Amino acid sequence: MASSDVARHPDKGTRPLSLAGHVGFDSLPDQLVNKSISQGFCFNILCIGETGIGKSTLMDTLFNTNFENFESSHFEPQVKLRAQTYDLQESNVRLRLTVVNTVGFGDQMNKQESYQPVVDYIDKQFESYLQEELKIKRSLHNYHDSRVHACLYFISPSGHSLKSLDLVTMKKLDSKVNIIPVIAKADTISKSELHKFKIKIMSELVSNGVQIYQFPLDDETVAKVNTTMNGHLPFAVVGSTEEVCVGNKMVKARQYPWGVVQVENEHHCDFVKLREMLICVNMEDLREQTHTRHYELYRRCKLEEMGFKDTDPECKPVSLQQTYEAKRQEFLAELQKREDEMRQIFVQRVKEKEAELKEAERELQGRFEQLKRVHAEQKSTLEDKKRLLDEDQSSFNKRRAAAQLLQAQSLTVNGKKDKDRKNSGFM
Ligand SMILES: Nc1nc2c(ncn2[C@@H]2O[C@H](COP(=O)(O)OP(=O)(O)OP(=O)(O)O)[C@@H](O)[C@H]2O)c(=O)[nH]1
Ligand SMILES: [Mg+2]
């Protein structure tokens, strides 16, 4: 082999080699196409827009069918999302399409939280995918991917400016989904007004830092058309499933007393541009951007929230195993710390309780001592009283005995006197 043939690749240590004959791996792109066709595709569109702005009509017009449509009332207490999935087929390509519609968007008096259900819906689909990816037994090949690939944001054809609800919602969503803004019911606005309105919308989006989806320019086969189409954003669309006879052809159109607005006529509106860009040219890029940009961001934030990192503080690479082990140690240390704290709290409580009990015991002892003292004092008082009583009694007894003696003596004396008197009488 010539030395020029074995020149090493400067970065990866690989070297280009030429083949002496046909091998067959040039069929890889065809294999990929065949596999994709047999697997089928999936695409999910989210339509955000006020009630009755023309979301369902545009979807029906875009996919040339009649999806299940539910007319919403203007009295929904809060914004909801309704998703419906359909299996479509065009020649031998199967497409599982999910259309998600906002219900009650912009109908509440307080619109501050109107974007939240939309954000939650998008995050929920990312979360489901992440959970599937993190499973031990993954089945991503037959997983129904419900992540939103494209968000059609319907702007009311006021001709004035974007509403603050539009700006806030798009700002909240631009890092989560590919936003394609469209001016709805563009047949209700004059051509010159529409031109100014488009410029106004784009400048408002730029000044508010809202990142809308840009048709990609990296694939040179579509770079030219995508560059042109980026300049037409936001697309001014008209939807209709009604067929009207124009010339000798039946076309989708909206018929008015003064004329006919043809949906697919590029002089009348941008419907064809939207269909081309969304379905024919960039559907795969929308799917890819969803996976590589928006989902990746969600995944990264979620894993970082969970404590996973690619590098340590010294910027050295850290494996999942190391992160897991570090987290486990951190968790165990935290657990130990909590256990120690709880033990300390327990000991402290026991000490406090013991002190409380001792205090109560001391109090009781004090009261008991006092009662004992009172009791002793009362006892000695009573004993004093008893002694006095006894003394009184004994002196009384003495006096009584003396009185009795006196009495007895006086009786004896009187008796003798009587006897003497009697004796003297006889004499
Ligand atoms: N002038 C005009 N009217 C339209 C257009 N698209 C839809 N409409 C009309 O607007 C009304 C509401 O259209 P829908 O497609 O049901 O609107 P929606 O946004 O799906 O409504 P909800 O699902 O109830 O929120 C219907 O009467 C449509 O015929 C349009 O491009 N131009
Ligand atoms: Mg609808």
Ligand that comes closest to the CA of residue 262: 1
pLDDT at residue number 163: 93
Joined together, the tokens standing for residue 66 give: 């009649």
Helical packing angle, 164-173 and 116-134, nearest 10°: 10
Residue from 146, 139, 155, 137 nearest 47 by CA: 155
pLDDT at residue number 1: 41
Q: Are strands 93-103 and 41-48 parallel, antiparallel or unpaired?
A: parallel
CB 91 within 8 A of CB 217: no
Report the distance separating Cα 212 and Cα 181, nearest Å.
Answer: 8
Burial 31-42 (b: 16+ CB within 10 A, else e): eeeeeeeeeebb
Cα of 144 from ligand 2 centre, angstroms: 24
CB 56 within 8 A of CB 101: yes
Q: Are strands 93-103 and 259-262 parallel, antiparallel or unpaired?
A: unpaired
pLDDT at residue number 390: 95
- Number of Cβ within a 10 Å radius of residue 156: 19
Residues near ion ligand 2 (Cβ under 5 Å) = 55-56
Residue nearest to atom 28 of ligand 1 (CA): 54
Residues with CB under 6 Å of ligand 1 are: 49, 51-57, 71-72, 101, 185, 187-188, 238-239, 254
Helix (H, G, I), strand (E, B) or coil at 281: helix
Taken in order 9, 15, 21, 27, the sign of the CA dihedral is negative
Would you say how long the chain is, in residues?
A: 427
Cα of 193 from ligand 1 centre, angstroms: 21
Cα of 46 from ligand 2 centre, angstroms: 12
Ligand 1 atom nearest to 104, measured from its CA: 25
Residue nearest to atom 6 of ligand 1 (CA): 54
Cα of 55 from ligand 1 centre, angstroms: 6
pLDDT at residue number 425: 61
Helices within 249-295 (DSSP H only): 271-275, 283-289
pLDDT at residue number 5: 46
- Number of Cβ within a 10 Å radius of residue 309: 13
Burial class of 169 by CB neighbour count within 10 A (0 to 12, 13 to 18, 19+):
buried
CB 260 within 8 A of CB 315: no
Helical packing angle, 164-173 and 191-207, nearest 10°: 50
Ligand 1 atom nearest to 47, measured from its CA: 19
Cα of 150 from ligand 1 centre, angstroms: 20
CB 185 within 8 A of CB 238: yes
Ligand that comes closest to the CA of residue 54: 1
Cα of 238 from ligand 1 centre, angstroms: 9
pLDDT at residue number 22: 94
Helix (H, G, I), strand (E, B) or coil at 89: strand
- Number of Cβ within a 10 Å radius of residue 146: 19
pLDDT along the chain (427 residues), means of 10: 48 85 94 93 96 95 91 83 96 96 88 91 97 91 94 95 94 97 96 95 96 94 94 95 91 94 94 96 96 97 86 81 85 95 96 96 96 96 95 94 93 85 69
pLDDT at residue number 247: 87
